[in-house]
Amino acid sequence: MKKLIAIAMIAFLFTTATIAQKFAFVDSDYILKNIPSYVAAQDEIDNLSEKWETEITKEYESIAEMYKTYQAERVLLSDDMKQKRENEIVNKEKSVKEMQNKYFGPEGDLFNKREELVKPIQDALYKAIKEMTIEGSYAIIFDTASGASILYSNPKYDKSDEVLQKLGYKN
């Protein structure tokens, strides 16, 4: 009976050993920062964003100046002139909000530019990771850049440099 239990335990251990899964991790931020086209695309997006923010800030300053002037001249204006100035300020504010939404909204110019420049690079990255997962028979590849709660990881399982090489970049 003891032999039977011992044999069953050994068989169980060998079975679970063959079922063991392989895991690895990558740091997508590290990979992307080592791809020159991604860095250039990100710089272009940042420059556009800064330019549009400056433009919108100037428009809001213009609105504030219009309102300040209106407040100073309000006592001298007729009711029709007051209403006209108020409408001008409201319309200008509305147009600036529309411009802001056009640039930074969910389907705005910044989103579209990011889709145009960055998405192809990210798609290539994910394709390379997927191929590496299949080739290396990994069950799971974690991304440490996404804020996953990995408290410690052994650097020998970091496959970030392999992904960069698969994408044609050397580090």
Instruction: Assess if residue 6 is contained within a domain.
Output: no
Instruction: Assess if residue 97 is contained within a domain.
Output: yes
Instruction: Assess if residue 44 is contained within a domain.
Output: yes
The whole model's pTM is what?
Answer: 0.70
Encoded tokens for 147: 């804020």
Q: Give the 3-state secondary structure percentages of the chain, helix then strand then coil, rounded to 5.
A: 75, 5, 20
Tens of pLDDT, residues 120-164:
999 998 888 888 888 888 787 888 886 665 645 567 777 888 888
Instruction: Assess if residue 46 is contained within a domain.
Output: yes
Instruction: Assess if residue 95 is contained within a domain.
Output: yes
Instruction: Assess if residue 4 is contained within a domain.
Output: no
CATH number of the domain that residue 65 is part of: 3.30.910
Domains held by the chain: number = 1
CA distances from 108 to 14, 38, 51, 158 (A): 57, 20, 15, 36
Give residue 56's domain range. Answer: 23-166
Instruction: Assess if residue 150 is contained within a domain.
Output: yes
Tens of pLDDT, residues 74-83:
888 899 999 9
